Structure 1
Amino acid sequence: MAIQTMNAVVFRGPFNISVERKAKPQIKQQTDAIVRVKSAGICGSELHMYRGHQKTGTGHIMGHEFVGTVEQVGGKVIDFQPGDSVVAIFSPVCMKCWYCVRGLTNRCVEGTAFGTQQLDGGQAEFVRVPFADGTLQRVPPELDDRLLIMMCDIFPTGYYGASRAIEGLCNQLESPLTSKSKLLFDQTIVVLGCGPVGICAIATILSKGVRRIYAVDSVEDRLKEAEQLGATSLKLGQDDIEETIMAVTDGRGADAVVEVVGNQDALRSAFNLLRPCGILSSVGFHQSELPFTGLDCYLKNITVNFGRVPVRTVFNDALECLKQNEAKLKTYVSHELDLKDASEGFAMFAQHKARKVILRV
């Protein structure tokens, strides 16, 4: 007898996560696939909803990070078939709109993130994946299964935030006496926030050849993880962060800041830490007014980048970077729980008692 219902993690309001029986998803469009989920991650961006900072309706299935096996495909799916092991991008991409064909898959006109009122997510036994040929990627067999979940969102996001900062600096660095690689080596980059995305950004920056990296957070465990990767840690509320950065840069300020926290205080700190003509690369999920003005930016001549990652476009490059850092990150997943324990997983993550939580289905 065919399966009609499934267990799923449902958002019922701030700090209220429940596991319920829901109808198993069905093919709606011929470009859809149904994926049997093997594991799903809890992402930091979901905490905005969980804590009530992001206003939304209730009753939808959570989760935009998931790995599994294709169970069924629509008639127009070309690249996948039942039995394929896959990892999903956090937001479907059609690969046909004006943005997708130019590599700007983060702004796909059909893109709606999984785990929202518009599209049920993957913290469930099964999930419907729109535009399967664009949204799914085959599982690289050589990658540690526990790290694979990072490729749905957090590693590409950290990679993107770091890469935009470094690309901006490379465009500035010109000297008849010193190579661009030597100048990049000497740059000072600050990463604000050492949660999962921040750790991924630090790993990327190190892989690109930068060696003077400062990692800022208030959680001791996160700072220790950043130090193990090779960053110098600075603890909020304990260290004088601005004084430290100014001291090591002869009073100029950081060459670039990667901000992943997503609140006004972090963004203002990023602005204050930057030198004139510095690069501010923000991938934090901001939902409020900016803490600086256009005039502030004009007078400091900074370059500012905001927004979500085009995961599909950077996927292969980010995957190679993750493979380079696999040994360093192999213990990063701190908790693996059963799907039925999702409420406990969200609470631990929100209270900074876990680095990364995976729900096994």
Structure 2
Amino acid sequence: MKAVVYYGPYDIRTETRPIPQIQSPSDVIIKVKYSGLCGTDLHSYRGHIKGPVDTIIGHEFLGTISEVGKDVTKFKVGDDVLSTFTIQCGQCWYCKHGYSGQCDVTNTFGKVGLDGGQAEYVRVPYAENTLIKKPSSNDGVDDSIYVLMADIFITGYFGVKKIRDFFAQKSAEGVAIQQARDTTILQIGAGPVGLCGLRILKHFGFEKVVVVDGVDSRLQEATKLGAYKTVNYITNPDDLAKIITNDTNNIGFDAVLECVGAKSAQRTAYEAVRRNGFISSLGMGHDELPFNGLECYLKNINISFGRCHAWSLFAEALEIFEQLKSDFTDFIDYKASIDDSKSAFELFDKQKVKKVVFDLTL
């Protein structure tokens, strides 16, 4: 089969590899139809983190089951399925309590020890706790849209849900401490995860969402998806401070959805959130935090980091995705053959395209 293999920073190659085989009774083999290129892939591509050398990459994919292990009863050959970006056992304490991202045996497709889905076939361990059948619909939306569900949509949902749940806490009188329509939110980052997060915020009734990014085309997409205001922090670096003064009475935002992970984004989140506010940080940070314990203590900051519990949230996120997916029909703006992996990565890295999907049906 053909597969995209990582060898080092900026060194991506399409190679011929053996078709994977069943290794465990809980495995299935999927013939991949569509596989996405995610912003997370760029961390190793750019050399920001150590990449999985000589490993097939990619953690966003869907396809048709071609082989099942003997313990698999929920699926059969020929089923069209979606996958989470992680594997999880479904049996450990974390899986049973809704924290599948911290499963005792979890791994991410395309990382060390687990080949990914930018290939014609992929082996899926713990299949009954990693896959879900693709919904049947006659809405005319191309199935490639479901690569968003593997990671970026559900990750956006994970971050937004934490904000929604925080402000939905009840007072002594049984009333939510703050209504969505009255909540001011700063969103840092309007890449694929950020745009999904923005649409989900709007779905939950959050009206005053200010989106910050440095790419005008992304901010234009944010406006189309319902952003209250947008700020290009590169060309208009003073605009955010003006919005805090004029739109929050200089108090700061009630919540921040941080979708970047860079120290500068995390520091902006800290400075922009009001006292006793909430920061939901989705960005994959690699550095020391740009604020210390005393700063958080004095400002009474509530902050949540971490990888999405994709399997635990998949069913509820998919239900919402089915309602919203038509808003993302132009989201995937570049479909590539798996043979064109090098150029696809280059275009995505240089932000010349929004979302790349490898079409394995070509």
Shift of 1:174: 4.4
Shift of 1:261: 0.5
Which ranges in structure 1 are unaligned for 5 or more consecutive residues? 1-5
Q: Distance in 1 between matches of 2:323 and 2:64?
A: 26
Alpha-carbon contact 2:52-2:110 (below 8 Å) kept: no
- Partner secondary structure for residue 201 of structure 2: helix
- Partner secondary structure for residue 297 of structure 1: helix
Q: Count the aligned residue pairs.
A: 354
The residue type equivalent to 2:5 in the other structure is V
Say if 2:306 is the partner of 1:310: no
The alpha-carbon distance between structure 1 residues 175 and 273, as it changes in their structure 2 partners (threshold 3 A), is farther
- Correspondences of 1:341-352 after superposition (within 5 Å): 341-352=340-351
Alpha-carbon contact 2:167-2:176 (below 8 Å) kept: no
Shift of 1:242: 2.6
Q: Which residue of 2 aligns with 1:84?
A: 79
CA RMSD between the two structures: 1.6
The residue type equivalent to 2:311 in the other structure is R
Which ranges in structure 2 are unaligned for 5 or more consecutive residues? none
Shift of 1:306: 0.3
Structure 1's consecutive aligned runs of 4 or more residues displaced over 4 angstroms after TM superposition are 173-176
Q: Which residue of 2 aligns with 1:22?
A: 17
Q: Distance in 2 between matches of 1:196 and 1:57?
A: 23
Deviations 1:135-192 (A, max 9, x none): 1110012273132111101000001101101211222x7497x964973211111111
TM-score calculated relative to the size of structure 1 = 0.95
One of 137, 145, 148 as aligned partner of 1:150: 148
Q: Distance in 2 between matches of 1:215 and 1:261?
A: 12
The alpha-carbon distance between structure 1 residues 206 and 175, as it changes in their structure 2 partners (threshold 3 A), is farther
Q: Which residue of 2 aligns with 1:32?
A: 27
Shift of 1:298: 0.5
The alpha-carbon distance between structure 1 residues 198 and 95, as it changes in their structure 2 partners (threshold 3 A), is same
- Partner secondary structure for residue 23 of structure 1: coil
Say if 2:209 is the partner of 1:213: yes
The residue type equivalent to 1:202 in the other structure is L
Alpha-carbon contact 1:246-1:254 (below 8 Å) kept: no
TM-score calculated relative to the size of structure 2 = 0.95
- Partner secondary structure for residue 12 of structure 1: strand
The alpha-carbon distance between structure 1 residues 79 and 85, as it changes in their structure 2 partners (threshold 3 A), is same
Deviations 1:14-72 (A, max 9, x none): 11111001111111111111110001000011100000001134110010000000000
Q: Distance in 1 between matches of 2:323 and 2:134?
A: 17
Shift of 1:274: 0.2
- Correspondences of 1:248-267 after superposition (within 5 Å): 248-267=247-266
Say if 2:103 is the partner of 1:103: no
Q: Which residue of 2 aligns with 1:166?
A: 164
Q: Distance in 2 between matches of 1:35 and 1:181?
A: 46
Alpha-carbon contact 2:253-2:272 (below 8 Å) kept: yes
Say if 2:177 is the partner of 1:203: no
Shift of 1:97: 1.0
Q: Distance in 2 between matches of 1:264 and 1:329?
A: 29
- Partner secondary structure for residue 284 of structure 2: coil
The alpha-carbon distance between structure 1 residues 77 and 162, as it changes in their structure 2 partners (threshold 3 A), is same
Percent identity (aligned) = 39
One of 221, 227, 234 as aligned partner of 1:237: 234
Q: Distance in 1 between matches of 2:196 and 2:135?
A: 19
